[in-house]
């Protein structure tokens, strides 16, 4: 397998052999056209592409390989570089976004400058998209390969810029994924800043009562990890803090953070709770999803880390009544209350960043047909967690909100905000992956508490892929939970007793089920969290169509992003359950630690060069560059532009704007692009 | 002039795609196997802001029947604002080439993100259809340079 396919045919240069005659002193290019198994070869006539370019000036050898990236394929190229004295390589294969690095490394190993490689994308942008037209696809592949050769002939060797590495990392988001990533990093000896925008870490996992399928108490397994975060000397926790701005690149990011005032001195507060006892102002408790109240001075939940109170200025009388009250200040023996705190900007230098910003539960009130927010006994799966939790508003008794009586008939409705083909009301098209198992767990918990309760689950289909999941679901069935394949169109409330009528067609039996329940639980989907768009823009990472962050490669770089040095953990990438979030956190931490382990980072040297003879010092480039990467300075020849190599990112905006044509873009020069265009347009 | 197997004219279109969004979007169209016409040939550039109006004019001179420039969505440019600059340059160029008698629609601009494989294919379909309707480009084309010049650079 993987044997270099096309033979060297020295006697007939046009047939893809060695072509010594065609290249006097010019470049010596080797061209390798890849079959990629049948991925390319099924559509593109690879041999024809090889032959079409074999005789071109500068091309010393043209071959086709079954798999160019395989060891055999790479060896063929390495041997040719050595034996035929090649100085440039053109590979027509998959997207450079996949294998450019592979082949650049091969070049470097073979003693060639890696920037003398050019790839023609004849798979993603040819064979895979023109599968029905072999002739046109082959012609296009020829054009693309010729263009790559034309460009390769003009490529110049470049030396990589070398940057230093700040030996610390930042994890953004303190849910279970962020906590895990921070601990993994810290345990590898990396100084780690854990940034959380809420007053405590813990995320959504802290709000859950139990986890599926083991029915572990969620906080019992999470809170030791949270304590570990506090105790670990390599971790610095910055709670109630948001990311404002990010600059720099892998190895040396500069992150500007906004620390919101807690109005409590974290170091002094011992969380005795006296202040909250005396505080006269009440506010809805968001941790209990608004089903109970807290004070204006509060701790989000008893196990919160940092274990410090915080003052909510929206409810605190000091803020709402202009400096009055101050009861907490008077009562606190340790003098921890500090009304003089202000927002504070902190700037940190880190070498790598892990994004673990989690998700936001779907806003069920947008599905007006289900009446969430209007009918008190319609709750969401997250509300259910709080209502059944020992720490929750009912102290662990499952009760329905309208009269706080125990519900006897409970329905669950699946896919609320997920698998919505039309993505109406801010819902997602995708499956949120965890809701089926959350419902299986919750239904089971109802049965556990009240074995004679009647429990119905209305679903699209139950998805139970995971270790022990199917077994757990079957257990629920045998406990008498009724699973109905079919989603109700609406919920109608009886205003007298707040009972809920649910009508749905059971697709399995074809019967219409018309039932009345005491309580309905909506299994809400997971949505990208608020602020993710802005954060993605600050970090420059791409998002996928579902709104979550885009991974480096769906299979092979699941914890990386499009930006080197920035990694992903947990639901920031896509909805996933706790074990998957933790696993990805480990993966992200390992990748980040890998970068931090080296002392220097090599960066692509794509910055421009200024021809001082041509530069007229007009300052247009200076004005346009968003990085301060080019500055006009006084020299003995007058005002001339100068490139600040470490600030420049190589976008090419300056070069494209220079009317004196004094700025030459490295690796994307006008000449290179002209040559490419000309070759592209030459082939019919 | 490009002909297909039946001897009919086929438009040739050059697309400048920014590396971070549109090029990745084109790759996604590929991995998703979304089919689109083969008339568009891609040149990868770091950012749509790299595309100098001159590059576009050169394409037309060299015999391109159409040119597409595609970058990241507003706010998403990898280099902060390259795509805004590209759009401004593009608006300017559009007026210039209209003045030169090049039909509207030969030169087009779009935003395609790394997640928009389907959108990329749609853009290519639309651009190709539009250019096909316009027929072969005649203005600005320097046939002599097209043959001589291109050969020389190879
Ligand atoms: S990087 Fe895509 S437009 Fe600038």
Residues of chain A in contact with residue B3, where contact means CB-CB under 8 angstroms, are 684
Beta bridge partners of A557: A553
Give this prediction's pTM.
0.83
pLDDT digits 0-9 by tens, A584-594: 999 999 999 99
C-alpha distance from B122 to closest chain A C-alpha (Å): 12
Predicted-complex ipTM score: 0.92
Q: Is A125 on the interface with B (CB under 8 A)?
A: yes
Question: Measured between alpha carbons, how far is A180 from A679 in angstroms, rounded to an integer?
Answer: 52
- Cα–Cα–Cα angle for B119, A146, A102, nearest 5°? 70
Tokens of A650: 């190589």
**Residue indicated by tokens 């953070």:** A257
Q: 618-657 in A: which are within 8 Å (CB) of B?
A: 624, 626-627, 649-653, 655-657
Q: What is the mean pLDDT of residues A55-66?
A: 95
Residue A482, H or E segment: strand A482-485
**Contact check, Cβ <8 Å, A652/B46:** yes
Q: pLDDT band for position B151 (50/70/90)?
A: very low
If DSSP codes are grouped into helix, strand and coil, which group holds residue A408? Answer: coil
CB contacts < 8 A (A, B)? 172
Residue A529: C-alpha distances to residues A177, A372, A422, A434, A587 (Å): 15, 20, 20, 16, 22
B113 lines ligand 1 (CB under 6 A): no
Tokens of A425: 């009301």
**Res A17: pLDDT:** 54
Domain topology for A14-152: Rossmann fold (3.40.50)
If DSSP codes are grouped into helix, strand and coil, which group holds residue A62? Answer: strand
Residue A500 · residue A517 · CB < 8 Å: yes
Q: pLDDT band for position A75 (50/70/90)?
A: very high
Please give, one letter per residue, the 3-state secondary structure of A363-403.
CHHHCHHHCECCECCEEEHHHHHHHHCCCCCCCCCCCECCC
CA B59 to centroid of ligand 1, rounded, Å: 21
Question: Measured between alpha carbons, how far is A480 from A453 in angstroms, rounded to an integer?
Answer: 9
**Contact check, Cβ <8 Å, A125/B63:** no
Q: What is the mean pLDDT of residues A630-636?
A: 93
How many Cβ atoms are within 10 Å of A429's Cβ, its own excluded?
12
pLDDT digits 0-9 by tens, A191-218: 999 999 999 999 999 999 999 999 999 9
Please give, one letter per residue, the 3-state secondary structure of A18-40.
CCCCCCCCCCCEEEEEECCCCCC
Domains of chain B are 13-146 (3.40.50)
B84 lines ligand 1 (CB under 6 A): no
Burial class (CB in 10 A: 0-12, 13-18, 19+), A523: buried
Please give, one letter per residue, the 3-state secondary structure of chain B.
CCECCCCCECCCEEEEEECCCHHHHHHHHHHCCCCCCCCEEEEEECCHHHCCHHHHHHHHHCCCCEEEEEECCCCCCCCCCHHHHHHHHHHHHHHHHHHCCCCCCCEEEEECCCCCHHHHHHHHHHHHHHHHHHCCCCCCCCHHHHHHHHHHHC
pLDDT digits 0-9 by tens, A515-529: 999 999 999 999 999
Mutate one of B1, B15, B29, B49 to test the A interface: name it (highest A CB count within 10 A). B49
List chain A domain ranges. 14-152, 274-331, 360-527, 604-666
Residues of chain B in contact with residue A123, where contact means CB-CB under 8 angstroms, are 30
Question: Measured between alpha carbons, how far is A410 from A190 in angstroms, rounded to an integer?
Answer: 49
**Res A424: pLDDT:** 84
Selection from A194, A244, A197 nearest residue A350 by Cα: A194
A317 dihedral zone (left: phi>0; alpha: psi -120 to 50; beta): alpha
Q: Tally the residues of chain B.
A: 154
pLDDT digits 0-9 by tens, A97-153: 999 999 999 999 999 999 999 999 999 999 999 999 999 999 999 999 999 999 999
Residue A53 · residue A31 · CB < 8 Å: yes
Kindly state the DSSP code that residue A540 receives in the 8-state scheme.
T
pLDDT digits 0-9 by tens, A343-377: 999 999 999 999 999 999 999 999 999 999 999 99
Residue A14: C-alpha distances to residues A11, A18, A90, A93 (Å): 9, 9, 17, 21
Question: Measured between alpha carbons, how far is B15 from A139 in angstroms, rounded to an integer?
Answer: 17
Selection from B93, B15, B44 nearest residue A672 by Cα: B44
Please give, one letter per residue, the 3-state secondary structure of A97-115.
HHHHHHHHHHHHHCCCCHH
Question: Measured between alpha carbons, how far is A246 from A432 in angstroms, rounded to an integer?
Answer: 30
**Contact check, Cβ <8 Å, A125/B26:** yes
Kindly state the DSSP code that residue A494 receives in the 8-state scheme.
-
Q: Say which CATH architecture domain A360-527 belongs to.
A: 3-Layer(bba) Sandwich (3.50)
Burial class (CB in 10 A: 0-12, 13-18, 19+), A130: buried
DSSP states of A417-453: SSS-TT-GGG--SS--SSHHHHHHHHHHHHHHH-TT-
Residue A152: C-alpha distances to residues A10, A15, A50, A126, A147 (Å): 23, 21, 16, 20, 8
- Higher-confidence residue of A22 and A399: namely A399
If DSSP codes are grouped into helix, strand and coil, which group holds residue A661? Answer: coil
pLDDT digits 0-9 by tens, A409-451: 999 999 999 999 888 888 999 999 999 999 999 999 999 999 9
**Res B2: pLDDT:** 63
On the CB side of A577, CA atoms within 13 Å amount to 18
Selection from A586, A647, A653 nearest residue A621 by Cα: A653
DSSP states of A506-525: -TTT-PEEEEEESEEEEEE-
Question: Measured between alpha carbons, how far is A239 from A656 in angstroms, rounded to an integer?
Answer: 44
Question: Measured between alpha carbons, how far is A492 from A370 in angstroms, rounded to an integer?
Answer: 8
CA B49 to centroid of ligand 1, rounded, Å: 7
Q: What is the mean pLDDT of residues B10-34?
A: 96
Instruction: Please report, rounded to a whole number, the percentage of residues in chain A having pLDDT higher than 70.
Output: 96
Q: pLDDT band for position A16 (50/70/90)?
A: very low
Q: pLDDT band for position A601 (50/70/90)?
A: confident
Please give, one letter per residue, the 3-state secondary structure of A120-158.
EECHHHHHCCCCCCHHHHHHHHHHHHHHHHHHHHHCCCC
Yes or no: domain A604-666 corresponds to CATH 3.30.70.20: yes
Q: pLDDT band for position A162 (50/70/90)?
A: confident
């Amino acid at each position: 397998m993987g044997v270099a396919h096309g033979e060297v045919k020295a006697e007939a240069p046009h047939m893809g052999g060695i072509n010594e005659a065609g290249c006097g002193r010019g470049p010596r290019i080797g061209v390798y056209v890849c079959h990629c198994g049948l991925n390319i070869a099924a559509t593109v006539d690879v041999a024809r592409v090889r032959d079409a370019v074999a005789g071109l000036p500068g091309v010393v050898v043209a071959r086709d390989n079954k798999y160019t990236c395989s060891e055999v394929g790479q060896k063929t190229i390495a041997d040719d570089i050595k034996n035929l004295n090649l100085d440039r390589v053109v590979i027509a294969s998959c997207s450079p976004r996949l294998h450019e690095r592979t082949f650049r490394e091969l070049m470097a190993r073979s003693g060639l400058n890696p920037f003398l490689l050019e790839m023609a994308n004849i798979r993603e942008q040819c064979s895979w998209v023109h599968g029905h037209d072999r002739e046109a696809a082959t012609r296009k592949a020829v054009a693309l390969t010729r263009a790559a050769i034309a460009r390769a002939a003009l490529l110049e060797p470049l030396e990589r810029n070398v940057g230093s590495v700040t030996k610390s990392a930042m994890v953004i988001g303190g849910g279970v994924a962020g906590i895990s990533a921070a601990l993994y990093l810290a345990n590898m000896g990396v100084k780690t800043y854990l940034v959380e925008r809420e007053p405590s870490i813990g995320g959504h996992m802290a709000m859950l009562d139990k986890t599926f399928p083991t029915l572990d108490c969620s906080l019992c397994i999470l809170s030791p990890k949270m304590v570990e975060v506090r105790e670990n000397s390599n971790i610095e926790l910055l709670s109630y803090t948001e990311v404002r701005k990010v600059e720099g690149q892998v190895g040396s990011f500069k992150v500007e953070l906004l620390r919101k005032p807690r109005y409590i001195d974290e170091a002094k507060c011992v969380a005795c709770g006296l202040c909250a006892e005396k505080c006269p102002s009440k506010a809805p408790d968001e941790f209990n999803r608004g089903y109970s109240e807290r004070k204006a001075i509060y701790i989000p939940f008893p196990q919160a880390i940092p274990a410090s109170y915080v003052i909510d200025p929206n409810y605190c009388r000091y803020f709402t009544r202009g400096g009055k009250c101050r009861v907490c200040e008077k009562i606190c023996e340790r003098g921890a209350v500090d009304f003089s705190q202000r927002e504070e900007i902190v700037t940190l230098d880190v070498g790598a960043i892990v994004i673990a910003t989690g998700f936001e539960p779907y806003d069920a009130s947008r599905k007006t047909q289900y009446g969430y927010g209007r009918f008190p006994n319609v709750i969401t799966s997250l509300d259910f967690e709080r209502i059944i939790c020992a720490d929750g508003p009912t102290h662990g008794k499952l009760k329905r909100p309208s009269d706080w009586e125990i519900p006897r008939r409970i329905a669950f409705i699946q896919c609320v905000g997920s698998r919505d083909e039309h993505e109406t009301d801010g819902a997602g098209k995708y499956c949120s992956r965890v809701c089926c198992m959350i419902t299986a767990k919750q239904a089971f918990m109802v049965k556990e508490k009240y074995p004679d309760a009647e429990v119905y689950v209305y679903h699209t289909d139950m998805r139970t892929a995971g270790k022990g999941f199917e077994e757990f679901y079957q257990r629920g069935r045998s406990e008498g939970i009724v699973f109905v394949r079919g989603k109700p169109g609406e919920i109608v409330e009886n205003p007298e007793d707040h009972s809920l009528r649910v009508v749905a067609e059971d697709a399995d039996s074809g019967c219409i089920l018309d039932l009345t329940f005491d309580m309905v639980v909506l299994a809400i989907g997971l949505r990208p969290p608020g602020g993710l768009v802005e954060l993605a823009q600050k970090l420059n990472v791409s998002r996928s169509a579902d709104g979550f962050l885009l991974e480096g490669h769906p299979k092979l770089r699941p914890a990386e992003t499009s930006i080197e040095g920035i990694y992903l953990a947990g639901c920031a990438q896509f909805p996933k359950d706790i074990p998957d979030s933790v696993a990805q956190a480990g993966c992200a931490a390992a990748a980040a630690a890998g970068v931090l382990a080296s002392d220097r980072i090599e960066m692509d040297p794509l910055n421009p060069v200024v021809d001082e003879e041509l530069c007229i010092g007009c300052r247009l480039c200076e004005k346009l560059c968003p990085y301060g990467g080019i500055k006009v300075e006084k020299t003995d020849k007058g005002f001339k532009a100068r490139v600040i190599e470490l600030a420049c990112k190589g976008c090419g905006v300056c070069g494209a704007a220079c009317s004196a044509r004094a700025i030459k873009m490295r690796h994307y020069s006008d000449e290179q692009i002209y040559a490419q265009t000309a070759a592209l347009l030459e082939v019919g | 002039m490009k002909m297909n197997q039946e001897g009919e004219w086929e438009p040739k279109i050059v697309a400048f795609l920014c590396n971070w969004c549109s090029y990745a979007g084109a790759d996604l169209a590929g991995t998703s196997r979304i089919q689109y016409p083969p008339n568009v040939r891609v040149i990868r550039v770091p950012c749509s802001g790299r595309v100098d109006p001159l590059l576009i004019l050169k394409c037309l001179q060299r015999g391109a029947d159409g040119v597409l420039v595609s970058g990241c969505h507003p706010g998403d440019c990898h280099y902060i604002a390259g795509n805004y600059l590209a759009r401004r340059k593009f608006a300017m160029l559009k007026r210039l080439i209209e003045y030169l008698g090049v039909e509207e629609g030969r030169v087009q601009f779009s935003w395609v993100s790394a997640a928009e494989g389907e959108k990329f294919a749609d853009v290519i379909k639309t651009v190709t259809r539009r250019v096909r309707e316009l027929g072969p480009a005649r203005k600005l084309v320097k046939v002599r340079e097209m043959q001589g010049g291109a050969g020389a650079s190879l």
